[in-house]
Amino acid sequence: MMDLRPVSPPTRARSGLLYQGNDWNFEILRDCYDAVAEIAEGELGLTTYPNRLEIITSEQMLDVYTAHGMPLGYRHWSLGKRFIAHENAYRRGMMGLAYEVVINSDPCISYLMEENSATMQTLVIAHAAFGHNHFFHNNRLFREWTNASEILDYLEFARGYIHQCEERHGIAAVERILDAAHALQGQGVHRHSGSRRLDLRGEQRRAQARRLHEEATFNDLWRTVPVDEEQQPDTTLNDPLRHRLGLPEENLLYFLEKHAPLLAPWEREVIRIVRMIAQYFYPQPQLKMMNEGCATWVHDYIMRRLHENGRIDDAAYLEAIHSTSNVITQPDFDAGGGPSFNPYALGFAMMGDIARICTSPTEEDRAWFPDIAGNNRPVETLKHAWSEFRDESFILQYLSPAVMRRFRMFRLHDDTSAPYLLVDAIHDDAGYRDIRRTVAQNHDPANMNAEIEIISANMHTDRLLTMEHRTTRGHQFHPDDARKTLQHMADLWGYGVQLIERDTEDGAVLATHEATGRGGPGR
Check residue 522 and give its pLDDT.
43
Spatial separation of the C-alpha atoms in residues 376 and 368, rounded to whole Å: 17
- CA distances to 45, 139, 266, 305, 423 from 348, rounded to whole Å, are 19, 17, 46, 17, 27
- H or E element in which residue 444 lies: none
pLDDT value of residue 10: 43
pLDDT at 233: 45
Q: How many CB atoms lie within 10 A of CB 523?
A: 11
Q: Are 275 and 188 in contact, with CB atoms under 8 Å apart?
A: yes
Taken in order 500, 501, 504, 509, the sign of the CA dihedral is negative
**pLDDT for the residue numbered 200:** 52
Is the separation of the CB atoms in 233 and 488 below 8 Å?
no
- pLDDT tens digit sequence for 71-85: 778 888 887 787 777
CA torsion sign, 45 to 346 to 442 to 131?
negative
Alpha helices in 113-239 (DSSP H): 118-124, 133-138, 140-145, 151-169, 171-184, 200-217
Q: Is 72 helix (H, G, I), strand (E, B) or coil?
A: coil
Contact 121, 32 (CB under 8 A): yes
Pick out the chain residues at pLDDT < 50: 1-14, 194-197, 203, 222, 227-235, 237, 520-523
pLDDT at position 82: 76
What is the full DSSP assignment across 337-406?
A: TTTS--HHHHHHHHHHHHHHHHHS--HHHHHH-TTTTT-S-HHHHHHHHHHH--HHHHHHHH--HHHHHH
In contact, 267 and 521? CB cutoff 8 Å: yes
Per DSSP bridges, beta strands 100-103 and 497-503 are unpaired
Beta strand pairing call for 497-503 and 465-471: parallel
Q: What is the pLDDT of residue 208?
A: 56
